Amino acid sequence: MKRYLLLGLLTLGVLGLILGGYYLRHRGGNGGGQVVLPNGSSTGGGGRTDEINKGGGSLEILAQNSKLVIANLVRNYFVDESGNVILIQPDGQIVGVAGKETMVLSSADLGNLIEAAFSADGKMILVKFGDSRYPQTSIFDIGNKTWKPVDLKIQSAAWAPRGRELGYLARGNKAAVLGTWDLSQSKTKPKEVTTLHIRDMDLWWVRPEEILLVQRGSHEVESSVWGFNWTKKTLRPVFEDQLGLETLWSEDGSLALEMAGGQLNLEDLKNGSSKRLAFLTLPSKCAFDTEIIKTATSTASASSKKAKTVPAVEKILLCAVPADANQLNGHTLPDDYYKKTFFTEDSFYKIRLADGAISKIFEGGTIDATNLKRVGQKLFFINRYDSKLYALTLE
């Protein structure tokens, strides 16, 4: 991986890439310890290997307070603060859901949908489709219900954490082009930032000043994650040379859930500490979130003997965890999971990141949950058993 990256940045004229800079995966004793699931969390049998009911009828969900959002198949989705849903189907058609009302926003049948990503505000969708060797890329404007073809040979792309700016990696004449494109204005054009001699990379834009270049994980090949600073035009290593690497990032990029070598770790990149989680699930089956809690404070008015309560924000992790604790250990991860050689039966847990306390949210059932998103008191997810969107009501 280093060979590819050290050959890059041809247009920068800068030889110092800060490759010897700080390495955030510090595993010192101060950040150690384990987070353990409550006793009795291993309740299921072996994982299913049959993909049941895909695309047909209604799948019986055994979890409490669950609801099928829409009967359509779903590849990706966005939920706004009011609970309105926009989804894109595997054939590329785009549908809006508001309460019990549905509306087709785009009926264009794109055939083989490869990838779909929503902008941070949910107003635009980047779509890759067609032949996976020579894919086409277009951007759908939800407000105008119009498609905008992209002339760039996009390899991977990621939306900025705010606004409608796109970071992209495109195929160039001699090297890959890393650039940005501000789509908040109709007449703006893509802006090349640098060139890199890399391939098979995904992008994850976690902070305004930095985009992550993520080598696709496999149990057979070591993978790495690098951070590129847009302003300084420098690269730094984040995770290096890990087998079976898969990551999930918090909204501000300070926390990462990292699976590698059959272990799941919570990385506090801000403080340089690491905690190994004593349960195993894939990062794609989790979501970082926050909760507002009331805490007592010693500050009280002179006329009152009661301590005041003030709201505080607490960071949490929501995860769908296979009911059988040994289920994932019997497979090559993450490869087998994404090849759909097996399916899990999940229960849902909340992990409080301040102290590692874990509580079960829902007992599972015929649920193999991915792409979790919490909005208000609902936890949305796509069930791999039928590729449909569900929502759990949180109590």
Where do the domains of the chain lie, and which CATH numbers do they carry? 44-299+308-393 (2.130.10.10)
pLDDT score, position 371? 98
- The 10s digit of each residue's pLDDT in 38-56 is 333 333 334 444 433 444 4
- Give the strand pairing for 101-106 and 76-79: unpaired
- In this structure, what are the phi and psi dihedrals at residue 300, rounded to the nearest 5 degrees? -140, 155
Those residues with Cβ within 8 angstroms of residue 372's Cβ, 6 or more apart along the chain or in another chain: 285, 286, 287, 318, 319, 320, 379, 380, 381
On the question of pLDDT at 160 being above 50, the answer is yes
Chain-centre distance for alpha carbon 134: 25
On the question of pLDDT at 1 being above 50, the answer is no
Distances (CA, A) of 209 to 163, 200, 230, 393: 14, 23, 6, 36
Those residues with Cβ within 8 angstroms of residue 348's Cβ, 6 or more apart along the chain or in another chain: 63, 318, 319, 320, 321, 360, 361, 362, 364, 369, 379, 392
| Percent of the chain surpassing pLDDT 90 | 65
- The 10s digit of each residue's pLDDT in 64-75 is 567 899 999 999
How far apart are the C-alpha atoms of 312 and 296, rounded to whole Å? 10
pLDDT score, position 12? 40
pLDDT score, position 305? 60
On the question of pLDDT at 3 being above 80, the answer is no
pLDDT score, position 65? 67
pLDDT score, position 58? 45
Tell me the pLDDT band of 256, cut-offs 50, 70 and 90.
Answer: very high
How far apart are the C-alpha atoms of 3 and 1, rounded to whole Å? 5
Tell me the pLDDT band of 297, cut-offs 50, 70 and 90.
Answer: low
Q: Which of 15-19, 319-323, 360-364 has the highest mean pLDDT?
A: 319-323
Which of 30-44, 177-191, 281-295 has the lowest average pLDDT? Answer: 30-44
Q: Which amino acid is at 30?
A: N
